[in-house]
Amino acid sequence: MSKTRRTPPSLAFASWTAAILLGAVAVAQSPTSSGESLLAEGIRRLEQDQLVEARQKLQEAAELLPDQLEPLLALSRLFEAQGAWLQAIRTSRKAAELAPDDPRPHLILGMELGRIGAISAALAELDRARKLAPAEPTGYLAAALLLRDTNRREEAIQLLETAMGKGLRQADLYEQLCLLELSENRPASCRQMAAGGLEIHASSASLRFVYALALAADPKRREEAVSTFLRALDLGFEPAGRLHLELGNTLLELRRLDQAVDHLRQAVLLLENSAEAHYKLAMALRLAGDLDGAVEHLQKFKTLSQRADSQDWDRKKVGAALNEAEKLALRNDLKGALKRVDAALEEQTRLPAVHLLRGKILFSMGRPAEALESIEKARGLSPGSAEAHLLAALFLTRLRRWEEGEKAALLALAIDPTLGEAHERLGTIAANQGRYEEAVTQFKKALELGIKSSSLRLNLAAALERTGQGEESRRLLEEE
């Protein structure tokens, strides 16, 4: 059986989308205000992919209904549809602050953070959502997928088992738990779990596919696996290429060569860049006596494998170069560190860590404009990196680009609201623009979050003095 597992489509935010649409229907039937009418119209436009018109209606609704959650949730969904993930996150964060005891904004925010790679922050929000709505399966499933994708599979299994223990029996929960059991080489457990799930969800193509995978792991049940794969195909399983590959591989194990070749050819057509599909087809063709065809697909397998191996080797070399560069930087050999990072860039231009380290080194060398260029590249490659946005805020303010720096700091806080450094940066920006009361608020927040630098206290004292709070300013300086 292939070790490759199907990654299911994104959760598509089914639960909260349904909640929004139900709310929209109710409003549309009996709107009691212009704000509710705009909300209903905005959601209808959103469902029709008229995004520009939907945005206008929803923003107007949010202004007219400042105490209601639904306009913000709908706006967040609109920003997702536009691919504006950071705007979506900021909107969801605002919704969570407006209604901290409502699980929906936390659930949405957690999934959005996960989409941009801010895993720790995402898991924290999903944990809040589960505590507020322990019977909502999406909070368990979304967190389990993030844990799986960060190689924390046992934690993911435990989380899904917790959901099952609470009586949740959705097909997706069975499916993902079974796939995790398979990844941990526990096919018998998967078979038992999937069989139980199919008693409830007999028409689930995905769950039947997973059951077939588990059956195929047992040599005595491979014939049963074949019929189960075919049933999943009849039920409309997607991606079909993955099913043809697994079915073809099972038929190959059974030495049903003509059928194996047919399904593996389908797999190659649908999964053109799958080294595994080409390899399995080559094996089937060789056993069926088609040596020329076998050689052709074996060569394609080698080409695809070498490409993957080369990329993996490049990443390892880059990792070693970054480690060496960091050591040189710690010894204050900034020129040497920059040389190693530039060498790493020749090997790999799409690793955010390379651009992040290069930006830090250049900034330490007194070259903030060049440092900002590197950090902007890192931000583009890793929009979920709070560190990248925070560094951008620092570098932008050093260049006296206050407005851009403020936006970058706010983006960092949208991802991680516990970043005291971002509040300190916002305080600095506000002070430099004469907004001293705002600066005091931001500096105090930074102190609350554990920033203990002398410069922070001095800046706070200066801002307090400017706002007529001289006594508090002096007390702060005396404590220093």
Amino acid at 364: S
Q: Which fold has domain 1-133?
A: 1.25.40
Secondary structure element (H or E) that encloses residue 424, with its range? helix 420-432
Q: How far apart are CA 58 and CA 107, in angstroms?
A: 21
Counts for the chain of helices (H) and strands (E), in that order: 26, 0
Helices 85-98 and 402-415: crossing angle in degrees, nearest 10, is 60
Q: How far apart are CA 189 and CA 177, in angstroms?
A: 10
Please tell me the least confidently modeled range out of 20-29, 50-59, 113-122: 20-29
| CB 374 within 8 Å of CB 356 | yes
Q: What is the pTM of this model?
A: 0.79
- Tell me: pLDDT of 324 over 90: no
Higher local confidence (pLDDT), 323 or 103 = 103
Please tell me the least confidently modeled range out of 12-21, 164-173, 313-322, 399-408: 12-21
Do 1-133 and 418-480 agree at the fold level?
A: yes
Residue count (the chain): 480
Place of tokens 């920006």: 429
Amino acid at 77: R
Domain boundaries, the chain: 1-133, 418-480
Query: 3-state DSSP call for residue 10?
Result: coil
Q: Quick: pLDDT tens for 107-158.
A: 999 999 998 888 999 999 999 999 999 999 999 999 999 999 999 999 999 9
Q: Which homologous superfamily does the CATH classification assign to the domain defined by 418-480?
A: Tetratricopeptide repeat domain (1.25.40.10)
Task: Tally Cβ neighbours within 10 Å of residue 386.
Answer: 22
| CB 108 within 8 Å of CB 85 | no
Q: How far apart are CA 175 and CA 154, in angstroms?
A: 16
Q: Quick: pLDDT tens for 428-480.
A: 999 999 999 999 999 999 999 999 888 899 999 999 999 999 899 888 887 76
